[in-house]
Amino acid sequence: MNQKIFEQIRNENIEFVDLMYADLFGGWHHVTVPAERFDEGLCQKGVGVDGSSVLGFRKVKAGDMVLVPDTQAHFKHPFAEHPTLCVLGDLVDVGAKEGFSRDARYVARKAERYLGRMRKGERSLWLPELEFYLFDSLEVSGRPGHSGYKILSREAGALDGEPRVPEHENLKRGYHSASPEDRFEDIRSEMCSVLAPVGIPVKYHHHECGPAGQLEIELNFMPMVKTGDGVALAKWIIRNVADRRGLVATFMPKPLYGEAGSGLHFHQYLVKNGVSVFYDPKGAACLSKVGLWYVGGLIEHGRALSAFASPSTNSYKRLVPGFEAPVRLAYSVGNRTAAIRVPGYAIGPENTRIEYRPPDATCNAYLVTAAMLLAGLDGIKRKLDPGKPLSEDLFRLSQRQLGDIPALPESLGEALYSLEKDSGFLLESGVFTEDLLESWINLKRAEDREVSQRPHPREFELYAGM
């Protein structure tokens, strides 16, 4: 137990302790206790949680759970009016000695342990790229007889209360744009200034391709559990800062038709004694055999990974040809149309890595990093050869050439079906459980049905007059 946390509470006159945990989909929940109640006894016994009231956790007949504070993971609440210390927690069943199978943070911790057993002395490092849109307003209606949405983005050149969305040929106009076109430089800096005291490292921030307010904050390399914490907390901080500025931040993969979508790319590699295990200057794309086998595992299991990496119906409106989002499971050096990119600027012994590009921020970062690691480790174990790196633009290949390259799923339902058919690499290590996969698939399939059964505004434009 970290005793320094109690010193901080005393020295900084903390009034409340906010115990935070994430549900199965990665959304935050919290319970707040007065600081005087937060002692070693509470840290050992935990705080009761009704798991049946949390999405994807427990049924009413077996809902009692305990939230155990992780005294190593805490920070000063950046938004609370009263001095408050936030402490992340782990969930366990009442009377259990180990973590809860559907607690995604526990899944990521198990994945790290599995890597330690399988490959002695190695650990994984992850760098997430968070892309999102900032809108002036977002109105949503989903009632029978009245359904639709309205987005206002003055950065896009709003006219009469409507966003003027650029035409297709101007898609990249927003990339690295400067003021006055970039209205949000100071807001991104404010977001980063809040991330730093929370312990989330930032590499840089910039305006992204979409000129209707698409932004990126790129975090820096972290271990897996810390990465899961960092992504979830960064989303929470970004949304709170935007809200306090009277704006709306959304991590939807494709909020605007015809505009650039928002992804959550994960740079990743295995490291031992400060050297990338993926590095070999004589290997294909400067990747070692281990690195190539890891890529082979991601390609082999890429369709199943989509159920965690791209877990919303909206995800598959981003993963379409013509944009920088990938649609095929291939790897390349610097080619952003492939699912896996080997950054051409990072091919040294200390930083050779790969970037997995299909994920978006509707994912649970704990689960998707664990799943990617297990896919890569399966590739290493089975020595899966990914072949030669792709050099051509995927969108310029013929249908015959494309036929040799496996495609990502085109819908959430297709991704869930792929996970059902290919889940052994997740289960054999004990990191994922049948219980977790069944719950995930059932909940996501219900989402898919709910969206597919509702009339869409475009359907009225196409069919109402027929």
**Which pLDDT value is given to residue 58?**
67
Q: Distance of CA 346 to CAs 12, 127, 331, Å?
A: 42, 13, 15
pLDDT range class, residue 292, cuts 50, 70, 90: very high
**Which pLDDT value is given to residue 169?**
46
Asked whether residue 163 carries a pLDDT value surpassing 60, the answer given is no
**Which pLDDT value is given to residue 162?**
61
**Which pLDDT value is given to residue 63?**
65
**Which pLDDT value is given to residue 431?**
97
Residue that has been written with the tokens 């290919």 in this structure: 422
pLDDT range class, residue 12, cuts 50, 70, 90: very high
Strand partners, 364: none
More confident residue, 172 or 122: 122
**Which pLDDT value is given to residue 337?**
76
**Which pLDDT value is given to residue 62?**
57
pLDDT in tens, 398-435: 777 777 888 999 999 999 999 999 999 999 999 999 99
For residues 367-382, average pLDDT: 98
Catalytic residues: 50, 129, 131, 208, 216, 265, 336, 355, 357
**Which pLDDT value is given to residue 60?**
45
pLDDT range class, residue 117, cuts 50, 70, 90: very high
pLDDT range class, residue 160, cuts 50, 70, 90: low
pLDDT range class, residue 168, cuts 50, 70, 90: very low
**Which pLDDT value is given to residue 52?**
81
More confident residue, 356 or 156: 356
Kindly state the percentage of the chain with pLDDT values over 90. 67
More confident residue, 59 or 202: 202
Dihedral sign (CA 87, 90, 94, 96): negative
Asked whether residue 82 carries a pLDDT value surpassing 50, the answer given is yes
Q: Is 1 exposed, middle or buried (CB count within 10 Å of its CB: 0-12, 13-18, 19+)? A: exposed
Pick the closest to residue 70 from 112, 34, 17 (CA basis).
17
- Contact residues for 7 (Cβ-Cβ < 8 A; gap 6+): none
Residue 67 near residue 38, CB atoms below 8 Å: no
Eight-class DSSP state of 338: E
Own/partner pairs, 117-121, CB within 8 angstroms, 24+ separation: 118/377, 118/381, 119/270, 119/277, 119/377, 119/380, 121/272, 121/273
| CA angle (341 as vertex; 338, 204 as ends), nearest 5 | 120
Q: Which of 93-102, 128-137, 303-312 has the lowest mean pLDDT?
A: 93-102
Q: Which two tokens stand for residue 14?
A: 């903390």
Mean pLDDT of the chain: 90
**Which pLDDT value is given to residue 218?**
97
**Which pLDDT value is given to residue 170?**
52
Question: If you write DSSP's letter for every residue of 54-105 in order, what string do you get?
Answer: STTS--GGG-EEEEEEEEEEEEE-SS-SS-EEEEEEEEEETT-SS--TT-HH
Q: Which two tokens stand for residue 372?
A: 């990617």
**Which pLDDT value is given to residue 59?**
61
For residues 198-216, average pLDDT: 92
Q: Which of 210-214, 222-226, 280-284, 388-392 has the lowest mean pLDDT?
A: 388-392
Domains and CATH numbers, the chain: 12-98 (3.10.20.70), 123-463 (3.30.590.10)
**Which pLDDT value is given to residue 158?**
58
Strand partners, 76: 85
pTM of the full predicted structure?
A: 0.94
Q: Return left, alpha or beta for 80; rule: phi > 0 is left, psi -120 to 50 is alpha, else beta.
A: beta
Q: Which two tokens stand for residue 459?
A: 């359907």
pLDDT range class, residue 246, cuts 50, 70, 90: very high
Asked whether residue 451 carries a pLDDT value surpassing 70, the answer given is yes
For residues 231-240, average pLDDT: 98
